[in-house]
Amino acid sequence: MAKINIRELLSQVRNTGIKKRLILDTDAYNEVDDQFALAWALLCDQSKVELLSVNAAPFHNNRSNGPEDGMEKSYSEILNIMKLTGQNRPVYKGSREYMKSVSVPVESEAADNIIRTARESEDILYVAAIGAITNVASAIVKAPDIIDKIAIIWLGGTAHNWPHTKEFNLIQDIFASKVIFDSGVHLLQLPCAGVVDHLATTIPELKYYLGGKNPLCDYLVNIVDGYGGGMCWSKVIWDISAIAALICPNSEDIVIKPAPIVTLDGTYSFDDGRHDMLYCRALNRDMIFAHLFTLLAGI
């Protein structure tokens, strides 16, 4: 496989006529948005985006008692969504802890899955990561030969004009995050605060477009409904941005810019001499939800 440059990658991302081969790396039980992204990837036109496998990623918040527990719960939720969609793909358990340095990988089935699939692939392998990035970073540290074979789409960090990047996916897994930004691997960053936070929906909207359509749609509506509440409450469905980048790329304004330097205290530094990456600076919320809701309601 010939190495492609960042401009060629951007052209490929925008070209819906090229089939993209995809691994989804997801902390599926962390909130209620991974489930939408996973369902979209499972049900999309596989002649355009082929979901090869799914990795369970670790997380630690009030829905888990540690990274390993978060990964195990995510693994179970991945299987649950597959059952609801009637789709099956290989599923791999991920890291049981976060990276503790930029040079030591965390062993996992998920990291080995990325390495094996990348080495076997004749085309660029896309890895959509919508959680802590340890599985992906560990694969790169363990097998640096795959750097030229993969393109990472990561929901992580904040907009580059933000005063800090203490965002959940990035800051909980800071050493892995540094690997992703420093390794030179092709990367499309989907910043949370300042960009992807526009992907908010409400319970009335979900019930109108998805309620009663099928068991999957009812499940998605119910988990969002049970997650929060209150007058004028809305929920950002963050993770669908990673799938939208491949399914409907015209919905995202993606540019080329130098990769920032992520510091251990959760800030960005900038150097115009750094290697280039792709960066989403805006997105079309309505286009993304319209595409997703039409697919989910139509199964």
pLDDT tier, 2 (very low <50, low <70, confident <90, very high otherwise):
low
Q: What average pLDDT does range 206-218 have in this prediction?
A: 98
270-293 pLDDT, tens digit each: 999 999 999 999 999 999 999 999
- Note the Cα 36 to chain centre separation in Å: 12
Enumerate residues 6+ apart whose C-beta is below 8 A from 114: 23, 25, 55, 125, 127, 135, 136, 139, 146, 150
221-279 pLDDT, tens digit each: 999 999 988 889 999 999 999 999 999 999 999 999 999 999 999 999 999 999 999 99
73-100 pLDDT, tens digit each: 999 999 999 999 999 999 999 999 999 9
- Confidence (pLDDT) at 96: 98
Query: Is pLDDT at 160 greater than 80 in this prediction?
Result: yes
- Confidence (pLDDT) at 87: 97
Q: Closest Cα to residue 149, out of 175, 181, 127?
A: 127
Question: What's the whole-model pTM score?
Answer: 0.97
Q: Where are the alpha helices (DSSP H) in the chain?
A: 6-14, 34-43, 67-85, 109-120, 134-142, 168-171, 174-182, 203-209, 215-225, 240-247, 285-297
- Other CB atoms within 10 A of residue 289 CB: 21
Which residue has 């080329």 as its token pair?
Answer: 256
Using DSSP, state whether 22 is helix, strand or coil.
Answer: strand
Nearest-angstrom CA–CA distance, 239 and 3: 28
Residue 128, sorted as left (phi over 0), alpha (psi -120 to 50) or beta, turns out to be beta
Q: What average pLDDT does range 44-69 have in this prediction?
A: 97
Nearest-angstrom CA–CA distance, 212 and 185: 43
Domains of the chain, each with CATH number or no CATH: 6-297 (3.90.245.10)
- Confidence (pLDDT) at 230: 85
- Confidence (pLDDT) at 1: 67
pLDDT tier, 15 (very low <50, low <70, confident <90, very high otherwise):
very high
Which sign does the torsion angle of CA 79, 81, 83, 88 carry? Answer: negative
Q: Which residue(s) pair with 235 in the sheet?
A: 201
Strands 186-190 and 276-283, sheet pairing: parallel
Nearest-angstrom CA–CA distance, 25 and 111: 10
